[in-house]
């Protein structure tokens, strides 16, 4: 499902995830997640079941990994892989986090796309009111960055108009 790793001295966990779209695959993954965890969340105390607080941190890591791979079936054509970052502490290494449009957090990840044979072959521009403009802008940005051999196409999924 993923290739996970804690980023040292950042307070963040990074997962490379292949997205899951169909409900049947999601249900199967949920069954594996719930059935394979060796983490004991509850134990029997003197007043009945009690939460094992120490077990919640590793369970939280697994849960983030599990949930980050799910997408709606309508986006199946994207065949997306996600590089997902999760904060493990309240205040991670904030210097890594940047903001787009003032609100959307992101982390710059060097992808080495300027090689002769870039690993990225295609970018599908998601649903938007301005798909054509975004496709053109992205093509210009790739050209400006001297990144060649990447096809940029609009998604076939319609933008919500409600």
Task: Give the DSSP per-residue string, 25-87.
Answer: HHHHHHHHHHHH-----EEEETTEEEE-GGGHHHHHHHHHHHHTTB--GGGGGG--EEEEEEE
Single pTM value for the model: 0.53
Amino acid 77: pLDDT: 80
pLDDT of residue 21: 93
Terminal alpha carbon distance of the chain: 35
pLDDT average per 10 residues of sequence, the chain (162 residues): 57 81 86 65 70 64 77 85 75 75 81 73 86 94 88 84 58
Phi and psi torsions of 103, nearest 5°: -125, -25
Asked if 19 and 70 count as a contact pair (C-beta separation under 8 A), the reply is yes
Q: What percent of the chain has pLDDT over 90?
A: 13
43 vs 62: CA distance, rounded Å:
20
Q: Cα-flanking dihedrals φ and ψ of residue 160, to 5°?
A: -65, 135
């Amino acid at each position: 499902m993923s290739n996970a790793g804690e980023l040292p001295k950042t307070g963040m966990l990074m997962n490379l995830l292949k997205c899951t779209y169909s409900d049947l695959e999601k249900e199967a993954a949920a069954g594996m997640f719930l059935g394979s965890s060796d983490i004991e969340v509850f134990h029997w105390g003197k007043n009945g079941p009690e939460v094992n607080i120490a077990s919640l941190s590793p369970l939280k890591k697994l849960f983030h990994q599990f949930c980050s791979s799910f997408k709606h079936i309508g986006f199946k054509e994207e065949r997306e892989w996600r590089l997902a970052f999760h904060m493990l502490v309240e205040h991670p290494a904030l210097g890594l986090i940047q903001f787009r449009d003032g609100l959307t957090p992101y982390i710059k990840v060097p992808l080495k796309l300027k090689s002769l044979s870039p690993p990225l072959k295609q970018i599908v521009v998601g649903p938007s009111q301005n798909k054509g403009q975004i496709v053109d802008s992205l093509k210009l940005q790739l050209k400006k960055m001297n990144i060649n051999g990447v096809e940029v196409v609009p998604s076939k999924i319609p933008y919500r108009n409600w």
